[in-house]
A and B are shown apart, each in its own frame.
Chain A
Amino acid sequence: QVRLQESGPGLVKPSQTLSLTCSVSGGSIASGNYYWSWIRQPAGKGLEWIGRIYTSGNTDYNPSLKSRVSISLDTSKNQLSLKLSSVTAADTAVYFCARRSSPSSGHGMDVWGQGTTVTVSS
C-alpha cells in the first residue's frame, strides 16, 4: 500500500522560497499512470490546489500561483517536490501531497499524506 509523507522546514522567512518534499513508500513514483498533486490548507480554511505533475513529468498549476510554483519528481529518491517562491504570510498553511491513482477522467485523489505545517514569518 502506497504511503506519502511530506517534509520540509516548518518556518520560512518572507520573500524566501518554500521547499517541501513528499516521500513515497510502497510503490515507485516513476511507474504507473499517476497524477501527483500538492494541496494546501490555511488554518481554519478550505483546500486549495497548488498543482500537479504526471508520471511523464508534465505539470499543471493553479493559475493564481503559477508564477511562483514549481513541482518536480525525483525518481532516484522516490520523491515529489514543491517549490514556492517569494512567500508571504498568506502562504502559511498545512501542505499536503496526494496521488490520483487513475488517469481516467473523474478520478479523485485517493492517497494523501498527513500534511506538514509551514509558517511564513520573520
Chain B
Amino acid sequence: SYELAQPPSVSVSPGQTASITCSGDKLGDRYTCWYQQKPGQSPVLVIYQDTKRPSGIPERFSGSNSGNTATLTISGTQAMDEADYYCQAWDSSTVVFGGGTKLTVL
C-alpha cells in the first residue's frame, strides 16, 4: 500500500515562513492535497492539485510537488495558522493521508 510520511511537528516564529513536507514514492507523479485541522474542528482543504488554493484560503498558503516530496508553504505565518496539517494523495482509486504535522507558531 502507498504511504505518505510527514514530520510530526514543525515550529515557526510569527511572520516567518513555515514549510511542511510530505514524502512518498514518486509522489511528484501524483496530485497532492493539503488539509488544515484546528483542535475540535473538521479538516479544511487548503491546497488541491498540488498548488491550487480553494476560494477563501489566504494567499500565504502555497504548495509544490516534485520528485518524492510535496511541500506546503505558509508565508508570513500567523498565530491563527497553528494547527495540524495533513497531506493527501491517491493510490489508484483509494485515498491516502499522511500522518499529520503539528505546526506550532511561537
Binding site for B on A (CB under 8 A): 37, 39, 46-49, 52, 60-64, 96, 98, 105-110, 112-115
Distance in angstroms from B33 CB to nearest chain A CB is 3
Considering only CB atoms, which chain B residue lies closest to A111 in the complex?
B45
Distance in angstroms from A30 CB to nearest chain B CB is 21
Residues of B within 8 A of A52 (CB): 95
Question: What range describes how many residues of B lie at the interface?
Answer: 20 to 34
Residues of A within 8 A of B82 (CB): none
Tell me the complex Cα distance, A115–B41, Å. 8
Residues of A within 8 A of B96 (CB): 49
Binding site for A on B (CB under 8 A): 1, 31-35, 37, 42-45, 47-50, 54, 86, 88, 93-100
Query: Assuming A46-B99, A46-B100, A112-B42, is B94 touching A63 (CB within 8 A)?
Result: yes
Pairs A–B under 8 Å by Cβ, sample size 7: A46-B86, A46-B97, A47-B100, A49-B94, A49-B97, A108-B48, A113-B42
* B33 x A108 contact (CB < 8 A): yes
Partner of A112, one of B33, B44, B99: B44
Interface centre among B35, B42, B47, B54 (most CB of A within 10 A): B42
Partner of A47, one of B31, B44, B54, B86: B86
Tell me the complex Cα distance, A112–B94, Å. 18
Distance in angstroms from B7 CB to nearest chain A CB is 13
